[in-house]
Amino acid sequence: MSQTVPPRFLFRFAFTAPYLAEFSSKNFPVELPTACVLPSLRDLDGQPDFAELRCGWNETGLAISVSVTGKKQPLKCDPLSPKTSDGVQVWIDTRCTQNVHRATRFCHHFCLLPSGRGVKKREASITQLPLANAKDDVSRTTAAAIQIGSQVTADGYHMCVWFPAEVLQGFDPESHPRLGFYAVVRDAELGEQFLTVGREFPIDFDPSIWQTLELVK
């Protein structure tokens, strides 16, 4: 029997991101510990996971990693078409404004690809995208300021990203330790894995749909 309302829509989730004292742009990349793993919600709707997301932070920035397994086909990554490529889309709101439906200047949208850049198209890439219907001029930064690295494996990939504090407008963990956060892992072979609800909701631009990431120290 089909479900009118997805089970994940019935709850608002708060995920925790542990404090990473030693993580910085100087020692990137560093493997995020298991304490940084975001919990799976597959038991709510029976959808299998093929990706594992991890998040951690300190005063100098935010770290995110993703590991994908179970692939049999090569990656399909094109930095010129990041939203339709294999990779991860991440939305971050440094003010966690979940009572508004239009993005503010504190909202950010990034596409992270594990390959497709460089002479041999094997290097990871990151693209920042504008948010539709934004009420303010959303902060834009240069991809060069963000560090990203990946390792393609026999059945998937592992990718790690470091967002320095200065590229996330309004990033202030002491005064605002709760971020609005959403992520979608897309794969042409395996499908899409959503943090919570899917594309039947306006996840691309509506901060009220995003969940909460608590920066715990």
Which range among 42-51, 173-182, 207-216 shows the weakest confidence by mean pLDDT? 42-51
The H-assigned helical ranges of 82-140 are none
Across the range 166-190, mean pLDDT stands at: 96
pLDDT tens track for 88-143: 999 999 999 888 889 999 999 999 999 999 989 999 999 999 888 887 766 666 66
Query: Are the C-beta atoms of 56 and 19 separated by less than 8 Å?
Result: yes
Dihedral Cα 84, 85, 90, 91, nearest 10 deg: -20
Four-residue CA torsion sign, 87, 27, 58, 147:
negative
Local structure of 169: helix, strand or coil: coil
Average pLDDT, the chain: 89
- The predicted pLDDT at position 1 comes to 40
Say whether pLDDT at 7 is over 70: no
pLDDT tens track for 198-212: 888 899 999 999 999
Q: Kindly list the structural domains of the chain, giving each domain's residue range(s) and its CATH number in brackets, ordered by start.
A: 11-216 (2.60.40.1190)
Cis peptide before 173 (omega within 30 of 0): no
**Whole-model pTM?**
0.90
